[in-house]
Amino acid sequence: MADVDRVIRARLHSEVALVRQVSEYIVHSGGKRLRPALVVLTAKALGYQGQAHHEMAAVVEFIHTATLLHDDVVDASDLRRGRETANALFGNAASVLVGDFLYSRAFQMMVAQHNMRVMEVLSEATNIIAEGEVLQLMNCNDPDIDEAAYLQVIRYKTAKLFEAAGRLGAIVNGAERALEDALGAYGMHLGTAFQIIDDVLDYSGETDVIGKNVGDDLSEGKPTLPLLFAMKHGTPEEVALIRTAIMQGDSTHFQRILEIVRRTGALEHAHQQARAEADLANAAIAFLPDSQYKDALLELPAFAVSREF
C-alpha cells in the first residue's frame, strides 16, 4: 500500500496549482483505502509478481475520490472523514472540476496499460456508478421505494467499484474469466455489506467517530434500509412521521425517529443483511489457495460489518 501511495502522489501532479491542492487534500484525508487494497490483495492472492497492480489500485482510488468530490457537491455535505469537505473549503466549482480531472487522469492511467479488458471493466464501472448516483437522486424524498430498489442503488453506486477492484486483481494476472467473475462477486458482496453498514452508522454512530454528521441521510431525504424496515414495523403514527421526514428532507425529529428505528429492530435487520453479504463474499473466494493475502481478504468482510467509522 505504501507503493500504491507513491503512485498516487506521482500521478496527482498537475501544472495547475488548484488541481494539485484540491486533489491532495481529498486523496490524503484519511480514507480507508479499501478499494485499492482489494486490487493489491486479489492480485497477490493469485501470485502476481509485477507492478501493474499498483497502477490499477491508484486508478480505483482516483475514480472513488472523483465520486466523493461530486457526491459532496450534490449532497451539499460539509463534513467527510472528520474534516471539511473539499466543496466547503474550496467551493463547488473547484470540487466538480477537480473531480473531472481525477476521472480523466484515471483513464489516462488505464489506457497506458494497453489492456482492453482493463478498459472494459473500468469504463463499465464508472458508467454504472453514475447511473447509481442518478437512481439515488430519483429515490430521494420518496418513502415508497422498496428494499430491492435500495439494494440496486448501493450495488450500482458503491459495490460496483469494489467489484471492479476484485476483477482487476484477476486481470493483471491474466486469469481466466471464471476466476475474474469469482473475485468480482467477492468485491460486489463486500461493497454491498460496506454500504449497508455506512447507512446504519447514520443512525447508530457518533459524528466525531464516523467523520460525518449523524442524520445527514435523513436531512437529504434518503430512504435507507433502517428507515424502510422501521416503516414496515412501526405504528401508523411512527410511519407517518418517518414518511414526512423523508419527503421533506427534515431531520428536526431525528431523535424520535432514531428511537423508532431502534425499537423496531431496524438496525439489527440491516446488520443481518450486511452479515449475509459478508458470508457470500467469503464463499466466493473459498477456492483460493491459502496465503496471507487470502487471510486478509477473508477478514475484510468482517471489518466492513463490525466497523464503527
Query: What tens digit of pLDDT does each residue of 190-248 get?
Result: 999 999 999 999 898 665 555 557 888 999 999 999 999 999 999 999 999 999 999 99
Over range 280-296, report the average pLDDT: 97
Range of the domain at 73: 2-306
Number of domains in the chain: 1
The pLDDT of residue 78: 87
Over range 105-126, report the average pLDDT: 97
Burial of 300 (0-12, 13-18, 19+ CB in 10 A): buried
In one-letter notation, the amino acid at residue 92 is N
In sequence order, what DSSP letters do the residues of 84-108 get, joined into one string?
Answer: E-HHHHH-HHHHHHHHHHHHHHHHH
Residue 266, domain CATH: 1.10.600.10
Over range 60-87, report the average pLDDT: 90
Query: What tens digit of pLDDT does each residue of 128-170 get?
Result: 999 999 999 999 999 999 999 999 999 999 999 999 999 999 9
The pLDDT of residue 205: 67
Over range 103-123, report the average pLDDT: 97
The pLDDT of residue 210: 52
> Shortest CA distance to 110 belongs to which of 37, 52, 45?
52
> Shortest CA distance to 123 belongs to which of 106, 137, 98, 100?
106
Query: What tens digit of pLDDT does each residue of 24-57 get?
Result: 898 888 788 999 999 999 999 999 999 999 999 9
Over range 6-16, report the average pLDDT: 93
What is the model's pTM? 0.94
Distance of CA 203 to the CA centre of its chain: 18
Alpha carbon distance 102, 64 (integer Å): 9
Location of C-alpha cell 454528521:
213
The pLDDT of residue 289: 96
Q: pLDDT category, 309, cuts 50, 70, 90?
A: confident
Alpha carbon distance 197, 78 (integer Å): 21
85, pLDDT greater than 80? yes
Mean pLDDT, the chain, rounded, equals 94
Burial of 35 (0-12, 13-18, 19+ CB in 10 A): buried
Query: What tens digit of pLDDT does each residue of 240-280 get?
Result: 999 999 999 999 999 999 999 999 999 999 999 999 999 99
Cell readout for 281 is 463474499
